Structures are given as structure tokens and as C-alpha cells.
Homo-oligomer: A and B are copies of this chain.
Amino acid sequence: MTLNKQVVLLVGGVGGAKLAYGLAKIVPPERLTIIVNTADDFWHYGLRICPDLDTVMYTLANRVNTANGWGVDGDTRAMLEMMRDYGEDPWFGLGDKDIATHLLRTQAWQEGQTLTQITQRLTKGLGIACTILPMTDAPVATIVDTVEQGELGFQDYFVRHRWQPTLRGLRLDGIEAATVSPEVEAALKAADTIIIGPSNPWLSINPIVSVPGMRELIEAQNVARVAVTPIVAGTAIKGPAAKIMGELRLEVTVKTVVEYYATLINGFVYDERDEDFHIDSIRKIAFDTIMDSDEKRILLAHRVLDWALGTSEGDTIR
């Protein structure tokens, strides 16, 4: 039934990549577009690194290190060892194979190619048939304002400090100058459904919909716009979503997430471990959203898609 429908997925890194993996197994590649957060991107040792794009790419190419959820399977760390010999303190996990990705990207970036073009070349090289698009071609950087350390670059906060500092605010450096790329615009306009992955709403999805014009473009699509919950049983499966919600003095519930997304979505998939809740004008349904195996990724992708496209018999509409 998905053969003649265009599917667009919005994601950040590890959690979203799992749903992307499931969707890629059931949606024909020419009908699947994955729009990825790039506000985590940064320069490190002169390399342009796009952690979320890399995670999605490696996952879809069946090359991700499944223990971490990111990085290349079987990768080594010889370059980082040598950095230590040079007296460096490398805090970002750059695998040796992984570096090939960053070198190709950085070289093409310096030559003036757009991140969209660069990502196309990399996905093609990795044998990925569906389309992976950065949320924008402009450089955008999430800056995390913390109680203990003041403002930190995103990877500094997330990796170096293991998201332990207390977040008190966020800003997106460069977002005003960012634009929706023609490729993202075309994909959203052609979409038969727009799915928001179980990614961090504040850190991964908010940057995407903060690109000027993006939210309006998504909301203008008269299709099922369905988010999959990042909160399961009152907490986050992985990463700082629940911690951040507490720091922002938000109740760590599914309802908080739905209220945050507000008019962006018209449907929500929450986890069957959580209680039902009431919000006007939102369709919702409960599934098992934990994707701890390939089978469960595919099963959840199937269920979400069937429900979003209105072909599921088990719809819960209120």
C-alpha cells in the first residue's frame, strides 16, 4: 500500500535513524525522503562533521556500530591515538573509517558544493537508495546555555560534557540566514505523510522547524503529520530529552511533547507503556515504540505508516 505514497521523515540522530531504518525497509527508495537536523554540525580538527547525517547514513547503509548507535561498525581509533601522542585531548569519537566521510565532505564543502549535494554523493557512495537531505544548506549551530559553564557549542555540551551541565536555554546560531532548500521544499510539498521521528524535540526537531519558512511549509501540507514519541514510560530511552524537560521546568510526559509540537502535527504515536492523554484536534494511537531490534524497527515503521496513511484498521481517533 505504500508503493504509491511519498513519505517524508524528520529526524535527529540515533533514535530517529532507527525509524528511518524501518521505513527504508518498507518504502520504495524513490518515495522516501529523510530530512535531518544539521544544527549539531561543527568543525573539529578542520573537518566539517555532521553527526546526525552520519548516523542516519551509516544506519541506512547497514554500517552503523550498533552498540553505540553511531559511528562505523568495526571502526578503529588509530588517528585519535596519534592525536594523544601529539598532546591533544581528543574528546570527539572520530573513527578512522569515519574520517573518510568527513574528509570527502570537508573537501567538497571547501570547493563550494552545498551540503545537499555533498550528502547525495556520500549516500550514493554508501549504496543508500532513498534520499537523505540536510534540513538546510546554511550552517546552523545549536548553542546550549548552561548554568555551570555558560554557553557551550552543541557537541561540547553533548559529547565532551556528556549532557551533564544544566540547560537553561538554547539558541540557534545562524538560523535567521538559513533557508529551506529547493530539495526539502519539493519533498515536503510532494509528501503524502510527514513523520517526525522519536528524536529530541528541543535539540533535534526544533532546529529543523526553526529554519525560516519550514514550520509554515510543513503545516501547509494537508496530510497526516505524525510524530512518534521520544518519551517512553515517562523518560527518554536514550539521551537528554527527559533531563532537559526537567531543566526547562516542563512535566516529563508525552503530553508535554505534543503541546510543544502544537500545530506542527495532527497525529501522535505514543508508547503503550504511557497513559492516554487528552489534547484537542490531535489523533493519537499507542504502539510499542521501543526499537531494540531490526524487526521492531520495521514493525513500528509499518504501524506508523499504516496509521498515518489511514489504512490501518486499528486507528484511534478522538
Contacts and interface: CB of A to CB of B under 8 A. Distances in A.
Interface of A: 45-47, 72, 75-76, 78-83, 85-88, 95-101, 103-104, 106-107, 110, 122, 125-126
A79 B80 CA distance: 12
Contacts of A110: 46
Given A45-B103, A82-B97, 11 more contacts: A45-B104, A76-B78, A78-B97, A79-B99, A79-B100, A82-B98, A82-B100, A83-B100, A85-B125, A87-B125, A88-B100
A106 B88 CA distance: 15
| Chain A at the B interface: SS class | helix
Nearest to A96: B78
A86 B125 contact: yes
Contact of A47 (B75, B82, B86, B103): B103
B107 A45 contact: yes
A252 B96 CA distance: 44
A103 B94 CA distance: 12
B97 A99 contact: no
A221 B289 CA distance: 78
Nearest to A108: B46
A101 B87 CA distance: 12
A97 to B, nearest CB: 4
Nearest to A124: B87
A85 B122 CA distance: 10
A75 B78 CA distance: 8
Contacts of A76: 76, 78, 96
Contacts of A96: 76, 78-79, 82, 96, 99
Nearest to A97: B82
Nearest to A111: B46
A75 to B, nearest CB: 7
